[in-house]
């Protein structure tokens, strides 16, 4: 009897831990997140006939773009054991800069977009410098940057939105269709491409390797002859490019740069990363997970709206989902 129980117990453990290596466990966390995505998806499909339609699915994907872009960059930062709170308002600042470059200075759209993305990189670079060289804890350094970026966005735009009325190509970046006649917004395609590029960078390049190493044990990584300071700066600056891109995507979608927005996006993006199984203590995480996390958030937002659950409840439910996701991660680690 006792042995039977023991056997049952170990096989149950095997089932939960999935077997041999940590890689398998990570995949399990992803599949947990993926399974929840399916469950939530199925639930709303039953709850409302308007949910599982082509136009609504595209709408969900479309609404994932901004959070998703921010979450992708932040994944790198969080894997190093850091955090970036400046991505939300940084995005608003980049949107404003995009307006300045394209509407005020009248740079060609392509050059303007590139400059706005690079400006995001600059924000990240400053974050990286503060964290890696001045050794300010990431939470504080990027909290300060969050305020600075919000303020600058208002100062530069004189607190008024900048409209991209004359730059017709700009709006198409987000809402145009790659294949004429097929209603599938470019923004989603861009997100998909960026996600694939991020996944490759994280898994196949030195940048990704060192991000994981730094997050696992910064001291040991440094003593292994890796210039931790340099690579941290690179990671933050790299994540900054995503801030810039998100700024472009959101302003293209709205047709205007809204300087007073942005606050709150950082938390949604971080939530997406965490739901996707990336550990806030660093050293662990994946792009696939982050994409799933971002999708869970927008499916929830969309489904709750469609089923007419009051707006106020949406954050309550999202908060609950984060708790469940992180708790699942803790249980997984224990076994």
Partner 1 sequence: MTTTVAGQTLTGAPLLEVEGVSKSFPGVKALSDMRLDLRRGEVLALVGENGAGKSTLMKLLSGIYTADAGQFRLNGRPFHATKPKQALELGISIIHQDFNLMPHLTVAQNIFIGREPSAGRFLLSERELNAKAKDLVARLQLPLNVKQLVGNLTVAKQQMVEIAKALSYDAKVLIMDEPTAALNYAEVATLHEVIRRFVREDTGVIYISHRIDELKAIADRITVIRDGKYVDTVDTQATSMKEVISMMVGRTLTSDARPEGVRSDREVLLSVRGLSTKSLLKDVSFELRKGEILGFAGLMGAGRTEVARALVGADKIDTGTIELRGKTVKIANPAVAAKHRIGYLSEDRKHFGLLLEQDVNANIALSSVSELSTKLGFVKDRALRAKSEEYVTSLKIKTPSINQTTKNLSGGNQQKVVMAKWLVKDCDILIFDEPTRGIDVGAKEEIYGLLNELAAQGKSIIMISSELPEVLRMSHRIVVMCEGRVTGLLDADEAAQENVMHYATLRPDENPADAPELGAEPPRPEAEPTPEQPGRGAGE
First-to-last alpha carbon distance for the chain, in angstroms, is: 23
Using CB under 8 A, which residues numbered 282 to 301 contact partner 1? 283-284
| Cα–Cα distance measured from residue 257 to residue 178, given in angstroms and rounded to the nearest whole number | 23
Q: How far is CA 323 from the centre of its chain?
A: 18
Binding residue for partner 1, selected from 183, 224, 307, 335, defined by CB under 8 A:
224
Contact of 77 with 282, CB cutoff 8 Å: no
Please give the C-alpha separations between residue 130 and each of 27, 95, 141, 152, 219, in angstroms, as whole numbers. 34, 23, 6, 18, 18
Q: State which residue, 165 or 205, has the beta carbon closest to partner 1.
A: 205
Q: Does residue 227 belong to the site contacting partner 1 (CB under 8 A)?
A: yes
Q: Give the HSE-up count for residue 302: Cα atoms under 13 Å, Cβ half-sphere.
A: 27
Give the contact letters, 6-45, x = binds to partner 1 (CB under 8 A), - = no: x--xx---x--x-xxxxx----------------------
Q: Does residue 221 belong to the site contacting partner 1 (CB under 8 A)?
A: yes
Contact of 118 with 244, CB cutoff 8 Å: yes
Binding residue for partner 1, selected from 210, 236, 238, 242, defined by CB under 8 A:
210
**Residues sharing a CB contact under 8 Å with residue 148, sequence separation 6 or more, in sequence order:** 86
Q: State which residue, 17 or 175, has the beta carbon closest to partner 1.
A: 17
Binding residue for partner 1, selected from 51, 212, 238, 265, defined by CB under 8 A:
212
Minimum distance from residue 296 beta carbon to partner 1 (Å)? 25
Minimum distance from residue 235 beta carbon to partner 1 (Å)? 13
- What the block records as the tokens of 219 is 């001291």
SS3 of residue 200 by DSSP: helix
Binding residue for partner 1, selected from 220, 316, 323, 331, defined by CB under 8 A:
220
Q: State which residue, 111 or 200, has the beta carbon closest to partner 1.
A: 200
Binding residue for partner 1, selected from 31, 217, 314, 315, defined by CB under 8 A:
217
Binding residue for partner 1, selected from 104, 160, 177, 205, defined by CB under 8 A:
205
Binding residue for partner 1, selected from 230, 319, 320, 327, defined by CB under 8 A:
230
Q: State which residue, 225 or 310, has the beta carbon closest to partner 1.
A: 225
Residue-level length of the chain: 335
Q: Does residue 331 belong to the site contacting partner 1 (CB under 8 A)?
A: no
With 0-12 / 13-18 / 19 or more C-beta atoms within 10 angstroms meaning exposed / middle / buried, residue 194 is: buried
Q: State which residue, 106 or 204, has the beta carbon closest to partner 1.
A: 204
Please give the C-alpha separations between residue 2 and each of 9, 245, 332, in angstroms, as whole numbers. 10, 59, 25
Footprint on this chain of partner 1 (rule: CB under 8 A)? 3, 6, 9-10, 14, 17, 19-23, 204-207, 209-210, 212-213, 216-217, 219-230, 283-284
């Amino acid at each position: 009897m006792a042995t039977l129980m023991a056997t049952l117990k170990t096989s149950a453990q095997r089932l939960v831990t999935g077997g041999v290596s940590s890689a398998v466990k990570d995949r399990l966390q992803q599949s947990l997140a993926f399974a929840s995505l399916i469950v939530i998806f199925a639930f709303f499909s039953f709850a409302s006939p308007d949910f599982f339609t082509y136009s609504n699915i595209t709408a969900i994907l479309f609404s994932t773009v901004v959070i998703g872009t921010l979450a992708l960059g932040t994944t790198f930062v969080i894997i190093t054991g850091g955090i970036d709170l400046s991505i939300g308002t940084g995005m608003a600042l980049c949107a404003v800069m995009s307006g300045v470059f394209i509407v005020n200075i009248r740079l060609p759209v392509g050059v303007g977009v590139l400059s706005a993305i690079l400006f995001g990189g600059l924000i990240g670079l400053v974050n990286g410098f503060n964290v890696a060289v001045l050794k300010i804890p990431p939470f504080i350094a990027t909290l300060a940057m969050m305020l600075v970026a919000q303020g600058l966005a208002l100062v530069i735009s004189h607190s008024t939105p900048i409209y991209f009325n004359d730059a017709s190509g700009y709006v198409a970046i987000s809402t145009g269709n790659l294949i004429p006649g097929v209603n599938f917004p470019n923004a989603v395609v861009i997100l998909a491409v960026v996600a694939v590029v991020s996944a490759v960078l994280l898994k196949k390049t030195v940048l990704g390797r060192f991000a994981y190493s730094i997050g696992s044990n910064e001291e040991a990584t440094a003593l292994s002859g890796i210039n931790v300071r340099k690579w941290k700066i690179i990671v933050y600056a790299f994540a900054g490019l995503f801030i810039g891109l998100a700024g472009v995507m959101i302003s293209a979608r709205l047709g205007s740069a809204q300087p007073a927005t942005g606050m709150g996006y950082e938390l949604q993006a971080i939530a997406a990363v965490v739901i996707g199984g990336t550990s806030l203590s660093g050293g662990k995480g994946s792009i696939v997970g982050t994409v799933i996390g971002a999708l869970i958030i927008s499916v929830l937002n969309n489904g709750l709206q469609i089923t007419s659950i009051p707006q106020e409840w949406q954050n309550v439910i999202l908060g609950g989902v984060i708790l469940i996701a992180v708790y699942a991660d803790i249980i997984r680690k224990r076994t």
